[in-house]
Chain A
Amino acid sequence: MEKNINLTLKVWRQKSPREKGSFETHQVKNISTESSFLEMLDILNEQLINEGKEPVAFDHDCREGICGMCSLYINGRPHGPDDDITTCQLHMRKFKNGETITIEPWRSAAFPVIKDLMVNRNAFDQIIAAGGYVSVNTGGIPDGNAIPVSKDKADEAMDSASCIGCGACVAACKNGSAMLFVSAKISHLALLPQGKVEAARRARNMVAKMDELGFGNCTNTGACEAECPKGVSISNIARLNREFLAAKFQE
């Protein structure tokens, strides 16, 4: 049932990528447990603006868990203390009256802080640009039903493709590895006949780009899968390794 709670927030503030950041403490009062976590931050920002201070910068957009824009490390967990959701879907009913909440940006060498809680995830775009696609141009395409695809494979591809590119996997990983993100895309496309054609080349190019951009190695801790808001499976990483080895053998 709906009730109102008071909270202490320890929020990471950092003016710009080059400046040093630190935690700032704020109190928020009468927060409805029906509000979302980001609505609670909206209330904090309204309060800061009314006090003549600068509001906290954080990334968010769709607020329904699909765009992948929101991030945040909340009490030591990417996307906070609930499973299978993004921060924007986290609701204040998960917190207790009087609780202190620590809010940090993603922390990873490959995702530098832009301001406060915002980070730069441009590295993910660069990995996709390196090969995360099927190389077809617009037009001149055979009928959509020309190549049957087994339902199982299509469903499995859909599961891999449900990655929203939020970066929680990288943030959760002690090595800062992007293996879950990369393997999800490689799996999605390799599972479909349309993507199978250039699967080896794709795996080679995407992995090379990932290594170049300063992501760490995978040591199979499974933290990425546990924190993925979309439940993308770690078995994708096994498939990536298979595709990658196959690519190496072809060389």
Chain B
Amino acid sequence: MWVKSSCTTKINYHETLNNIKIMTKIEAKIPQGPLAQKWQTYKANQKLVNPANKRRIDVIVVGTGLAGASAAASLGEMGFNVKIFTISDSPRRAHSIAAQGGINAAKNYPNDGDSVNRLFIDTIKGGDYRAREANVYRLAEVSNSIIDQCVAQGVPFAREYGGLLDNRSFGGAQVSRTFYAKGQTGQQLLLGAYQALMRQVHLGSVKLYTRNEMVDIVTVDGKARGIISRDLVTGEMQRHFGHAVVLATGGYGNTFFLSTNAMACNGSAAWKAYKKGALFANPCFAQIHPTCIPVHGEFQSKLTLMSESLRNDGRIWVPVKKEDAEAIRKGTLKPTQIAEENRDYFLERRYPAFGNLVPRDVASRAAKERCDAGFGVGTTGLAVYLDFKSAIERLGENVVKARYGNLFQMYEKIVDDNPYKTPMMIYPAIHYTMGGVWVDYELQTSIQGLFCAGEANFSDHGANRLGASALMQGLADGYFVLPYTIQNYLSNDIRTPRMTGNEKEFADAENAVKARMQKLFDIRGKRSVDSIHKELGIVMWDLVGMARNEKGLKEAAEKIRAIKKEFWTNVRIPGDNNGMNVELEKANRLADFIEIGELMAKDALQRQESCGGHFREEYQTEDGEALRHDDRFAYVACWEYQGDDKEPVMHKEELKYEEVKVSQRNYK
């Protein structure tokens, strides 16, 4: 075995260094047997719930993105009673809808040597050897079924003239395994899941709650038995019982205020789970996407992603000469005036094997390196070019338009510049969080009966997610994994009667939520929620962003503590609690973002290595690549809440690689 588990000697080391208590009590419940047979073995031996009993069992699903909608639809089809909740006005608004590029699967339709094993290895390697082997193998294994399922639902994937499905390539892979629907793959997959969900709503197996936010999880005798939710239109608190609760509530990227996430994306549901005792895994693993439209002013509310698929044909560069970069920043020189030999295609230069298609973390850091060295463009100097000149020369403008037309249009509407003529400007931005609620092989959290799927859990992407793998994981969890594994749990619950919501545990949870809301109102300070959120975002981006170091992380912890104090003494929430109050919703989420930011900084500090999206400046190779320390950090950091005024405890899940040979990533 490659990775040593040397936990006992390391514990003391961390205790003295970061004052973090470390314990080990992680049971991931990975099935025995060879890797390729684990999932089949699991399914062959797991317990099921018979049809008559399914009707007597209620499952709550929170979130209607790819993972939530597909899980709820599948559970409804099986015969369970499902209640599903979304904060949006419709399930179709979930942020999965904004995914552009595509979805990976190991179909090997292009006959370029792909296989389940290759997709598995690429995903583990892309995640910089910080993901759990068994989960990732299962993901690769069910990936093909997702494509079949979506085609049957009428997802209009791109096709070749012969009528068969088309593929394109994405970062971190040397095969073409990405299925796509124009630049709107997430939209089409979500609509497929949404339509399957609405079919179950029509049939009565799923009850849909829109503009309704889960504000706490109710546990009874240590098991998740329901939620408290708030009707966002009336302000009314509701109690909902479920034999099990599934969180599919997405990531916490909006901790940074500016991200590619939608405005309402938040980490609160995951955070409630953490506060009820669920472990929170690898919080510092956040993905920075290299191709986003650069920040342009302090009024900015969000960052727009330009799909990774653009890197198939677009070439990334900055000027070779510093004076050219300076002239561009001053507006005296145009990028089109720079001769070919004066352009530094830095990804092609540094990574000849993968070129512009290196994984996201590698591409982001390379862009930052050039900008920090003074070669950045745009008025701020925090931008690099993504150029389609050679693609247009090679393929013609029409082909480029057919492939990326909607993305080019989107860019032009935002920036007011024509990317067919002038190269796009891009810069990295927070995009996705690999960390999340810790789950075992069954996607169950450390609270019995509480499951977590999609981006909200931590399971499959390690320290970095490959492009077109988020859609794959969301749908794998929702269609093909959770509907099985949850039955293994529910089979023990067939005699558990439904609760009414009048139980003490429900009343206590509701009262606690009401007290928190009242506390927020009572602050009556001077500052808007957004103004404090922006302050948090700046600290996160500067100190817990693309490059981190010990000094900065300690400084971040202090600054976040100050922001927390400012929030709880000086936020102003206008209006009242009776009826819709958007500021109250935002404040309630920001209170959690601040604490998530705190934990991210803490986690980043303890991980004294660079891996994937987590780059510690102290740990890099001579040529600036991430330097992992497998002997000390080949584990999942699982944080356990101890109380508001206490330090959390860190548990380690050791990562054991039995099939994959762990090596330094090399895209050169």
Contact = CB atoms under 8 A, between A and B. Distances in A.
A192 B163 contact: no
Contacts of B315: none
Contacts of B109: 145
B483 interface: yes
Interface string B402-427: 00000001100110100000000000
Interface string A64-92: 11111100000000000010110001010
A124 interface: yes
B414 A91 contact: yes
A124 B93 CA distance: 12
A3 to B, nearest CB: 12
A67 B262 CA distance: 9
B563 interface: no
A20 interface: no
Nearest to B150: A144
Contacts of A133: 153-154, 195-196, 198-199
Interface string B612-639: 0000000000000000000000000000
B299 A62 contact: no
A61 B198 contact: no
Contacts of B409: 84
A232 interface: no
B299 A61 contact: no
Nearest to A145: B164
Contact of B198 (A15, A38, A129, A138): A129
Given A84-B409, A158-B156, A144 B95 contact: no
B530 A120 contact: no
B154 A137 contact: no
A39 B93 contact: no
A125 B198 contact: yes
A250 interface: no
B231 to A, nearest CB: 11
Contact of A145 (B165, B305, B410, B483): B165
B159 A42 contact: no
A32 B297 contact: yes
Nearest to B579: A16
A195 B199 CA distance: 14
Interface stretch (B179-187, B368-376, B485-493, B592-600): B179-187
Counting chain B CB atoms within 10 Å of each CB, which of A53, A82, A115, A138 scores highest? A138
B559 interface: no
A18 B414 CA distance: 37
Contact of A148 (B107, B164, B198): B164
Contacts of B219: none
Nearest to A157: B156
A136 B148 CA distance: 11
B441 interface: no
A141 B93 contact: no
Nearest to B151: A144
Contacts of A35: 297, 299-300
Contacts, number: 223
A60 B263 contact: yes
Interface in A157-212: 157-158, 161-162, 164-165, 188-189, 192, 194-195
Given A129-B199, A148-B162, A63 B413 contact: no
B583 interface: yes
Interface string B122-140: 0000000000000000000
Interface in A106-164: 114-115, 118, 120-122, 124-125, 128-139, 141-145, 147-151, 154-155, 157-158, 161-162, 164
B570 interface: no
B398 to A, nearest CB: 14
A216 interface: no
B210 interface: yes
Contacts of B90: 68, 121-122, 124-125, 165
Contact of A64 (B70, B98, B150, B210): B98
In terms of DSSP, what is the predominant structure of the interface of chain A? loop
Contact of B302 (A63, A121, A128, A142): A63
A141 B149 contact: yes
B583 A49 contact: yes
Given A50-B528, A82-B413, A161 B147 contact: no
B220 interface: no
> Interface size class for chain B?
35 or more
Contacts of B194: 128
A32 B572 contact: no
| Interface residue range, chain A | 35 or more
A225 interface: no
Contacts of B530: 42, 46
Interface string B290-330: 00000011011110110000000000000000000000000
A2 to B, nearest CB: 8
Contact of A67 (B97, B196, B299, B526): B97
B61 to A, nearest CB: 14
B152 A132 contact: no
A81 B152 CA distance: 39
Given A125-B198, A161-B156, A120 B413 contact: no
A150 B579 CA distance: 51
Contacts of A145: 107, 109, 164-165
B152 A136 contact: yes
Interface string B147-179: 111111110111111111100000000000000
Nearest to B582: A57
A158 B574 contact: no
Given A66-B98, A125-B208, A161 B188 contact: yes
Contacts of A142: 148, 152
Most buried by A among B150, B164, B191, B201: B191
A194 B162 CA distance: 17
B85 to A, nearest CB: 14
Contacts of B98: 62, 64, 66-67
Contacts of A157: 154, 156
B92 interface: yes
Given A121-B89, A129-B202, A145-B109, A154 B151 contact: no
Nearest to B164: A145
Contacts of A66: 97-98, 184, 186-187
Contacts of A132: 195, 198
A143 B583 contact: no
A34 interface: yes
Nearest to A133: B195
16 contacts: A16-B579, A35-B297, A39-B299, A43-B299, A62-B262, A68-B90, A69-B88, A89-B414, A91-B416, A124-B90, A128-B194, A130-B202, A141-B152, A148-B164, A151-B159, A164-B187
Interface of B: 70, 73-74, 77, 88-93, 95, 97-98, 107, 109, 144-145, 147-154, 156-165, 181-182, 184, 186-188, 191, 194-196, 198-199, 201-202, 208, 210, 233, 262-264, 296-297, 299-302, 304-305, 409-410, 413-414, 416, 479-480, 483, 526, 528, 530-531, 572, 574-575, 579-580, 582-583
Q: Lowest 9 A-B CB distances belong to which pairs?
A: A148-B163, A133-B195, A158-B156, A129-B202, A129-B198, A157-B156, A144-B151, A138-B74, A62-B262
Given A133-B195, A134-B153, A138-B77, 17 more contacts: A35-B300, A36-B301, A38-B301, A53-B574, A57-B582, A61-B93, A61-B263, A63-B262, A66-B184, A66-B186, A89-B410, A115-B579, A125-B210, A144-B165, A154-B159, A192-B154, A194-B151
Interface of A: 15-16, 32, 34-36, 38-39, 42-43, 45-46, 48-50, 52-55, 57, 59-69, 82, 84-85, 89, 91, 93, 114-115, 118, 120-122, 124-125, 128-139, 141-145, 147-151, 154-155, 157-158, 161-162, 164-165, 188-189, 192, 194-195
